[in-house]
Amino acid sequence: MERLFTYLQYPFVRYALIVGVLIALCSSLLGVTLVLKRFSFIGDGLSHVAFGGIAIAGVLNVSNDMLVVLPVTVISAVLLLRTGQNKKIRGDAAIAMISVAALAFGYLLMNMFPTSSNLSGDVCSTLFGSTSILTLSIREVWLCIVLAAAVLAMYVLYYNRIFAVTFDESFAQACGTKADRYNLLIAVITAVIIVLAMNLVGSLLCSALIIFPALSAMRLYHSFRNVTIASAVLGVVSALAGLILAILTDLPVGSAIVAVQVLVFGICCILEKHI
Amino acid sequence: MTKTKKETLLDVKDVSLGYEDGAIIEHLSFTVQAGDYLCIVGENGSGKTTLMKTLLGLQEPLAGTIERSAALKDNAIGWLPQQTVVQRDFPASVREIVLSGCLNRTGRYPFYRKEEKERADRAMARLGITHLKDRCYRELSGGQQQRVLLARALCAAEQVLLLDEPVTGLDPKVSMELYEMIRQLNRSGITIIMISHDIASAVQEATHILHIGQNIFFGTKEAYTNSRMGKYFLGTEESGE
Ligand SMILES: Nc1ncnc2c1ncn2[C@@H]1O[C@H](COP(=O)(O)OP(=O)(O)OP(=O)(O)O)[C@@H](O)[C@H]1O
Ligand SMILES: [Mg+2]
């Protein structure tokens, strides 16, 4: 306990906690919709695309990775959504194709234009999350806060429409809701969240941040609103617990958070049987 | 303005319907006027649901045009689908689903106002599902689910209500009440377009009949009962009127 308070004196620990909580909040909120729309695959595919984006950013030697990664991921999200609606190409096959291709090309690029001597270390930290969450600059923290606030505001403002489109897309469309527009919104927000979450847990693990809180919440509650709220709470609590655990024990942040989420999911499964 | 000249809401002109692999119905023309009660009948697979989806703008006709009147705003339509594929584990309470029918009334305002909540409550009361309002949709019986979706359609229907086999899965008492309710709605000025396999009650309730299949018939129900097709399907042919 005492050690925790000493650590909290350091600004970089506080930044990490703030950013971690915000990212967990956004991804767990949106996770409910993504899981229910069977979009969780998209999240997974996008995270690999973002990995490719990081490689490109490295090659181009851009000072801020986000400037490359964010647009690349958002565009891929829109494309993936389009192919998902195209009945000729199977949506899941398209996602698998794009995500594997992005991984392969990303790794190729990193090898062809190595930016540092420790290549495998770089790759590992991009895939599994690095300690970079503990080296955030104040500018990155603010960028994260702004993006998270935008995502939250969108989610709250469009909550009812997101519910309608998630529950029954054709009814919503027949009765005058522009379903396409909200699907697009969901895809773009997903891309933003993926890019944010990559900083926290790395690209292989960031879909865990999206799906686990939602799945846990669905074990316990049966209305959309309660599931959404529970998912947000579970997401934030597990992220905090994982971060603190990682800081105290010097374990990797991403794996610690995901481990806590798996644990929470297990507890929710057990609770479900007993109520 | 004379009362006899009613406003045309939908004008379907020489439309062909179907999917990529070919047309199911060709050269279909009919009109729907404000206040009509149109029943669409026909065999399984004759294309009734496809027609309704095309009317709703969920798919494009292969040929021909469908004109919607300016008065028929996008957000004045309620629809009861024949099938709603809801994932088995979808968490949604009855109230949330019925309220989502009011979405087209909120305009740009992001939340539901008091009037929409009251509208949803009235729709639930009308269908006798108020006691289920906090229950999870996927835990309800088939008939109860049908009533929830009907309540949602009622919330959305300001001018036109489209129903795809609404009495499927309802018990006889509720079916009777449903027909009565639709009649009342129609009297209060809402245009009804209903798909039904129950030709006898369709003829009883509707003002117009559209029969699709090998031969297409469109006209008032009086014309239908006197047509050869109508007599055949109503089983009145042998009785030789
Ligand atoms: N998504 C689809 N893609 C291709 N063909 C379809 C599709 N949906 C329906 N069909 C075909 O179109 C035809 C008409 O189907 P539709 O659902 O409109 O019939 P229906 O008149 O509503 O039948 P029912 O009385 O059983 O409800 C059927 O032969 C069906 O096989
Ligand atoms: Mg049908």
pLDDT band (50, 70, 90) for residue A84: low
B-interface mutation test, from A36, A173, A175, A223, most B Cβ less than 10 A away: A175
Contact B148, B129 (CB under 8 A): yes
Secondary structure (3-state) at A158: coil
The more confidently predicted of residues B78 and A126 is B78
CA angle A95, A100, A101 (to 5 degrees): 100
The more confidently predicted of residues B50 and A177 is B50
The C-alpha of A164 sits at a distance from chain B's nearest C-alpha, in angstroms, of 6
Q: Is B54 in the pocket of ligand 1 (CB under 6 A)?
A: no
| Cα dihedral A115→A116→A118→A122 (10° resolution) | -50
pLDDT digits (tens, 9 = 90+) for A207-263: 888 899 999 999 999 899 999 999 999 999 999 999 889 888 888 888 888 899 999
Contact B194, B181 (CB under 8 A): no
pLDDT band (50, 70, 90) for residue B2: very low
Strand duo B63-68 + B8-19: pairing = antiparallel
Number of other residues whose CB lies within 10 A of the CB of residue A29: 25
* Residue A68 domain flag: yes
pLDDT digits (tens, 9 = 90+) for A144-178: 899 889 999 999 999 999 999 989 888 988 888 88
ipTM over 0.90: no
Contact yes or no for B58 and A170 at CB 8 A: yes
Q: Does the pLDDT of residue A91 top 70, yes or no?
A: no
Q: Which residues pair with B193 in a beta bridge?
A: B38, B162
Q: Is B142 in the pocket of ligand 1 (CB under 6 A)?
A: no
Point out the least confidently predicted range of A33-47, A84-98, B168-182, B184-198.
A84-98
Give residue B227 CA to ligand 2 midpoint distance, Å.
24
Q: pLDDT exceeding 90 applies to what percent of chain A?
A: 24
Which of A36, A161, A223 is nearest residue B136 as measured by Cβ atoms?
Answer: A223
Q: Is B168 in the pocket of ligand 1 (CB under 6 A)?
A: no
Give residue B128 CA to ligand 2 midpoint distance, Å.
26
How large is the average pLDDT for residues B20-28?
Answer: 85
Q: How confident is the model at residue B100, as a pLDDT?
A: 93
Q: Is B208 in the pocket of ligand 1 (CB under 6 A)?
A: no
Q: Which residues pair with B66 in a beta bridge?
A: B12
How far apart are the C-alpha atoms of A239 and A43, rounded to whole Å? 18
* Residue A223 domain flag: yes
What is the number of CB-based contacts under 8 A between chain A and chain B? 86
Secondary structure (3-state) at B194: strand
What is the total count of domains within chain A?
1
- CA distances B210 to A100, B40, B206, B218, Å, are 52, 5, 10, 5
Q: How confident is the model at residue A161, as a pLDDT?
A: 92
The mean predicted confidence, pLDDT, of chain B is 86
**Which two three-digit tokens encode residue A106?**
């990303």
* Residue A6 domain flag: yes
Nearest-CA residue for ligand 1 atom 13 is B45
Assign 3-state DSSP to chain B and report helix, strand, coil percentages, each to 5: 40, 25, 35
pLDDT band (50, 70, 90) for residue B237: low
Alpha helices in A37-178 (DSSP H): 40-60, 66-85, 91-112, 119-128, 138-157, 159-167, 169-174
List, in order, residues 6 or more apart from B3 with CB less than 8 Å away.
Answer: none
Contact B198, B163 (CB under 8 A): no
Domain residue limits at A109: 2-269
Contact yes or no for B96 and A225 at CB 8 A: yes
Ligand in nearest proximity to the CA of B55: 1
Domains and CATH numbers, chain B: 1-26+35-77+162-236 (3.40.50.300), 80-156 (no CATH)
User: CATH no. for residue A192?
Assistant: 1.10.3470.10
How far apart are the C-alpha atoms of A258 and A252, rounded to whole Å? 10
Adjacency order of strands within the sheet including B160-164 = B77-80, B160-164, B191-195, B37-41, B208-211, B217-220
- Atom nearest to B82 CA in ligand 1: 27
Q: How confident is the model at residue B59, as a pLDDT?
A: 87
DSSP of B78-96: EEE-S-----TT---BHHH
**Which two three-digit tokens encode residue B1?**
């303005």
Name the residue of B25, B46, B211 to mutate for ligand 1: max ligand atoms within 8 A of Cβ: B46
Backbone angles phi, psi at A101, to 5 degrees: -60, -40
Q: Is B59 in the pocket of ligand 1 (CB under 6 A)?
A: no
A-interface mutation test, from B52, B56, B75, B100, most A Cβ less than 10 A away: B100
- Residue found under tokens 């008939």: B143
Nearest to B208 by CA among B195, B221, B226, B190: B221
Q: pLDDT exceeding 70 applies to what percent of chain B?
A: 93
How far apart are the C-alpha atoms of B117 and A125, rounded to whole Å? 50
* Residue A274 domain flag: no
* Residue A275 domain flag: no
How far apart are the C-alpha atoms of B50 and B15, rounded to whole Å? 12
The C-alpha of B149 sits at a distance from chain A's nearest C-alpha, in angstroms, of 10
How far apart are the C-alpha atoms of A70 and A194, rounded to whole Å? 9
* Residue A224 domain flag: yes
**B198-202 contact pairs (CB < 8 A, 24+):** B198/B167, B199/B41, B199/B233, B199/B234, B200/B234, B202/B39, B202/B41
Number of other residues whose CB lies within 10 A of the CB of residue A67: 12
